[in-house]
Copies of this chain bind each other. A is one copy, B any other.
Amino acid sequence: MREIPGIPYQFDNPALLALALVHRSAGKVNNERLEFLGDSILSAAVSARLYELKPDNDEGELSRLRARVVRGDTLAILAAELKLGDYITLGEGEMKSGGFNRDSILADALEAVLGAIYLDGGYESCAAVILQICAPVISSLPSASELKDPKTRLQEWLQGRGYGLPEYSLQSEQGPSHRKQFRVQCSQAVAGVRVTGDGGSRQKAEQAAAAAALEVIADKFGK
């Protein structure tokens, strides 16, 4: 087998593709080393794409965006769409327990296939495959402003329109000490905002209150 339908790459060396599809349950020679390799090439290619695509995000935001693309559950969805499970070689135990549908096995195999493509065709070929496979995920990533936390966004909105800073005040603290619930009020008198938010910490309750304030603002001012 020289290719997998849906992955736009044809192998010169089909043994590399075969190895990438051998789960560790099937034997000592398996795809785990290729997975190590593919994981790092994936991360580099996605990082480079995000760098050029997201000039307004700082490095912390870029890291969080990258994590959304390369994390296991995202890769498992991509692998399932490629029906990678149909091609994976599993040990008997894994086969009986339906391992070819398990998220981690699918995600790992996809990384291993990417590692195999890197070895077979080099970085640029592999990066092109990665960007094509991940394009739907990358294009649905949130914008720079959507990534910011609600308190930051609320403050920026208010300041950008000449309003003062919002005020946060603790309204109540309830429940046993290991499971306390906080309620915080967020208000900005001039903008006519007064809402509350709940959370398991004061900080979380403040964020929830800020998120509620942003909704009020969106309704009131059409954002």
Contact = CB atoms under 8 A, between A and B. Distances in A.
Contacts of A147: none
Contacts of A35: 59
- Of A32, A44, A124, which is in contact with the most chain B CB atoms at under 10 Å from its CB? A44
Given A32-B59, A58-B32, A59-B32, A41 B48 contact: yes
A40 B35 CA distance: 16
Please report whether the interface of chain A is mostly helix, strand, loop or mixed according to DSSP. Answer: helix
Contacts of A63: 36
Nearest to A44: B44
Interface residues of A, number: 25
Interface of A: 32-33, 35-37, 39-41, 43-44, 47-48, 51, 57-59, 62-63, 66, 115, 118-119, 123-124, 127
A36 B51 contact: yes
B33 A58 contact: yes
Contacts of A40: 40, 43-44, 47-48, 66
Given A51-B115, A123-B127, 16 more contacts: A32-B59, A33-B51, A33-B59, A36-B47, A36-B51, A36-B62, A37-B47, A37-B51, A40-B43, A40-B48, A41-B44, A41-B48, A43-B43, A44-B44, A44-B123, A51-B119
Contact of A118 (B48, B115, B124): B48
Contacts of A48: 37, 40-41, 118
A57 B36 CA distance: 11
B43 A62 contact: no
Contacts of A33: 51, 57-59, 62
Contacts of A119: 51
Contacts of A123: 44, 123-124, 127
Nearest to A66: B40
